[in-house]
Structure formats: structure tokens, C-alpha cells
């Protein structure tokens, strides 16, 4: 499953929709707040800002020093909440230790919470309300499954990982009426994980452990979605490492009917869904002010 290609098609559509909103006098705007100087976070944030600009949205990055206080960060979030030009707000995780992520995330106006982490949006997603902002990675996985016409109704789906960012929202989306999967969620305390994955029609790996899912854990013909992004040592590469998913790709592709690569699978879809959420937020702000 080619997430890179699907994300590129989505960006083309989004660019057209952004132009349409501009004709109505609104440029969708995303503000990303980066606290500290974690190098991985800096890369994610600059990718997000670049993606915004590519589709004609306003992408702003607010950089704050590592010793920022909670009051300072909250003051920035409040300012963004109040700004008419900002439709989406994203505070990049992880935050430095002195900042409580739950306090900060709850401060973001749910109508601008394009990451979908505010409890209001989490609740709306769980009960299937259409106006929920859904976290971008699980929503990107759903878009891939739809694009490749993966039969989810009645399918056994096994998710490996139960984080609030990936595993749990993935579970909520897959069990919704209309998607209709039967879902098992595995985690680090799961016994005999292979007994679960071997029965799965769809395996979604989101554990952050390179090579956790081996070829013999996949049922022949199953669909495999690899969310994991792991750095593995690779002396032959210039950087000394390469990116790998949680799935042993070469072995799993021999048995799976469809599989996502890493990179080029779920990663690009995550950013596309963030743009999509920002566009939705901008649209709703127009509707509300009409
Ligand atoms: P996380 O918060 O660290 O959660 C990992 C989950 O995997 C936890 O629930 C953990 O179980 C479970 N787990 C860890 N080791 C396991 C094992 N050996 N067997 C079974 N379960 C195991 O990570 P996350 O934020 O969900 O991210 C997961 C992966 O996806 C990471 O590699 C991350 O980089 C990647 N990711 C990719 C994208 C993208 O755009 N493609 C977006 C977000 C994340 P416990 O709960 O029991 O500890």
C-alpha cells in the first residue's frame, strides 16, 4: 500500500480546496508549537510546516526554549485559541519534563485541536460523532484501508500497541458501525501475541519495536499496516542508521496480500490527515461566523 502516492493525491485535492476557501477570503492556518530542541521533533515540525505551505495553507512554527514554564506555554496556546487566523493548533510532543502534556492539551480549543488529542475530541470519536477531530495517524491508516478496498466488515483486526496516539484510537475507529471490524488490542503484557496475529485478517503494528512482527506471525493473505518508525543501525548508510517499521517487511510481504512499507506507508498519510483536519477546522470557522 503506497501511502506516499495516496498522500500526494490527497495534497493535490487539498490544494484545490484551499484555493476555494481563499476565494471566500480565508486561508487555512496551522500553528505548530515546538518546545525545546529535540532533533526528531524539529524534523517532524518542519515537515508539517512545509506540507502546509505546499498546499497553500499558512504554516507557522512557534519555537520556545526548553525551560519554558507551563504558564508561558499556556499563554501561547490561549493567544492561538483567540486568533482568527489560526484554525489548527498542534503542540509537538514530547514536552520537556516540567510541562504536563495533559494540562497543555486540554487548554487547546477543541475546535482547533487538529491532532485530535483533546478529551472532547477523543470522546466524540469514541461515540462516532462526525465532527470529531480524529488523530492523524489512525485516520491515515483508515484512509489507506479504504483506498485499497480492504474488507473490514467482520474482519479480525489485531492492533499491536495501545497508546493514546495510535493503538486506542485505531481500535475505536475499527469497531465503529460501518467499519465493523472485530478488534483485538495487544500490548506488552499480552501473552503469546503470535496466537492473535496469526488469526488476523488485518494486522496493525504500532509498538515502536523494529522486527517485532515476523513473517510467521502473519496469516497468508492478511493485510499488514506498519505504523512503527524505528531507527536501526546501518553502517552502510550515510547517517549510520536507517528507518524500519515494526514488521519484518521482506518476510511479511511474502505472505501478506497487502503491506505498507516504512518509510512511504503510514508516515506521509499522517501529515496529509493533519492538513485535512486543518482544512476542516477552517471550513467550520467560516460556517460558524456565517
Ligand atoms: P508508544 O506510546 O511507545 O506505545 C507503544 C505501544 O506498543 C504500547 O502500548 C506498548 O505496550 C506496546 N508494545 C511495546 N513493546 C511491545 C511488545 N514487545 N509487544 C507488544 N506490545 C508492545 O508508541 P506510539 O506513540 O503509539 O508509537 C508507536 C510506533 O509508531 C512508534 O514507532 C512511533 O514512532 C510510530 N509512529 C508513527 C507515526 C507515523 O506517522 N507513521 C505516528 C505516530 C507514531 P504497553 O502499553 O504495555 O507499554
pLDDT at 290 over 90: no
CA 245 / ligand 1 centre spacing (Å): 11
| Residue 137: partners with Cβ closer than 8 Å, 6 or more residues away | 165, 166, 206, 227, 266, 269, 270, 273
Over residues 85-133, the pLDDT tens digits come to 999 999 999 999 999 999 999 999 999 999 999 999 999 999 999 999 9
Ligand 1 binding pocket mutation candidate from 170, 207, 211 (most atoms within 8 A of CB)? 207
User: In this predicted structure, what is the pLDDT of residue 276?
Assistant: 98
Contact 73, 33 (CB under 8 A): yes
Alpha-carbon gap, residue 217 to 168, rounded angstroms: 22
Alpha-carbon gap, residue 221 to 199, rounded angstroms: 11
pLDDT grade for 171, boundaries at 50, 70 and 90 = very high
CA 164 / ligand 1 centre spacing (Å): 10
User: In this predicted structure, what is the pLDDT of residue 177?
Assistant: 98
pLDDT at 184 over 90: yes
Residues within 6 Å of ligand 1 by CB? 137, 160-163, 165-167, 186-190, 193, 206-209, 212, 227-230, 266-267, 270
What are the DSSP calls for 41-99, one per residue? Answer: HHHHHHHHHHHHHHTT-EEEEEEE-TT--HHHHHHHHHHHHH-TT--EEEEPSSPPTTS
| Cα 196 to chain centroid, rounded | 24
Which ligand 1 atom is nearest residue 245's CA? 32
Q: What is the mean pLDDT of the chain?
A: 97
Which residue CA neighbors atom 41 of ligand 1 most closely? Answer: 267
| % of the chain exceeding 90 in pLDDT | 99
pLDDT grade for 289, boundaries at 50, 70 and 90 = confident
Q: What pTM did the predictor assign?
A: 0.98
CA 165 / ligand 1 centre spacing (Å): 9
pLDDT at 137 over 90: yes
Alpha-carbon gap, residue 242 to 27, rounded angstroms: 37
| Residue 195: partners with Cβ closer than 8 Å, 6 or more residues away | none
pLDDT at 70 over 90: yes
Over residues 227-249, the pLDDT tens digits come to 999 999 999 999 999 999 999 99
Amino acid at each position: 500500500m503506497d501511502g506516499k502516492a495516496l498522500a500526494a493525491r490527497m495534497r493535490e485535492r487539498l490544494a484545490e480546496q484551499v484555493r476555494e476557501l481563499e476565494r471566500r477570503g480565508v486561508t487555512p492556518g496551522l500553528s505548530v508549537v515546538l518546545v525545546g530542541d529535540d532533533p526528531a521533533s524539529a524534523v517532524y515540525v518542519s515537515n508539517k510546516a512545509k506540507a502546509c505551505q505546499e498546499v497553500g495553507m499558512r504554516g507557522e512554527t512557534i519555537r520556545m526554549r526548553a525551560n519554558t514554564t507551563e504558564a508561558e506555554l499556556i499563554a501561547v496556546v490561549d493567544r492561538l485559541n483567540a486568533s482568527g487566523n489560526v484554525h489548527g493548533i498542534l503542540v509537538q510532543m514530547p514536552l520537556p519534563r516540567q510541562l504536563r502534556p495533559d494540562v497543555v492539551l486540554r487548554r487547546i480549543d477543541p475546535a482547533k485541536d487538529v491532532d485530535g488529542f483533546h478529551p472532547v475530541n477523543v470522546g466524540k470519536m469514541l461515540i462516532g460523532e462526525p465532527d470529531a477531530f480524529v488523530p492523524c495517524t489512525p485516520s491515515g491508516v483508515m484512509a489507506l484501508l479504504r483506498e485499497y478496498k480492504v474488507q473490514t466488515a467482520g474482519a479480525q483486526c489485531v492492533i499491536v500497541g495501545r497508546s493514546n496516539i495510535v493503538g486506542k484510537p485505531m481500535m475505536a475507529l475499527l469497531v465503529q458501525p460501518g467499519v465493523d471490524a472485530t478488534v483485538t488490542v495487544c500490548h506488552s503484557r499480552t501473552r503469546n501475541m503470535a496466537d492473535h496475529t496469526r488469526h488476523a485478517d488485518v494486522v496493525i503494528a504500532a509498538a515502536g519495536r523494529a522486527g517485532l512482527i515476523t513473517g510467521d506471525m502473519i496469516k497468508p493473505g492478511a493485510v499488514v499496516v506498519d505504523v512503527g518508525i524505528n531507527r536501526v543501525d546501518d553502517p552502510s548508510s550515510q547517517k549510520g542508521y536507517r528507518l524500519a517499521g515494526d514488521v519484518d517487511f521482506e518476510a511479511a510481504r511474502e505472505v501478506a496480500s497487502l503491506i505498507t512499507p516504512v518509510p512511504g506507508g503510514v508516515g506521509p498519510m499522517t501529515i496529509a490527515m493533519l492538513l485535512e483536519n486543518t482544512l476542516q477546522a477552517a471550513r467550520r470557522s467560516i460556517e460558524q461566523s456565517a
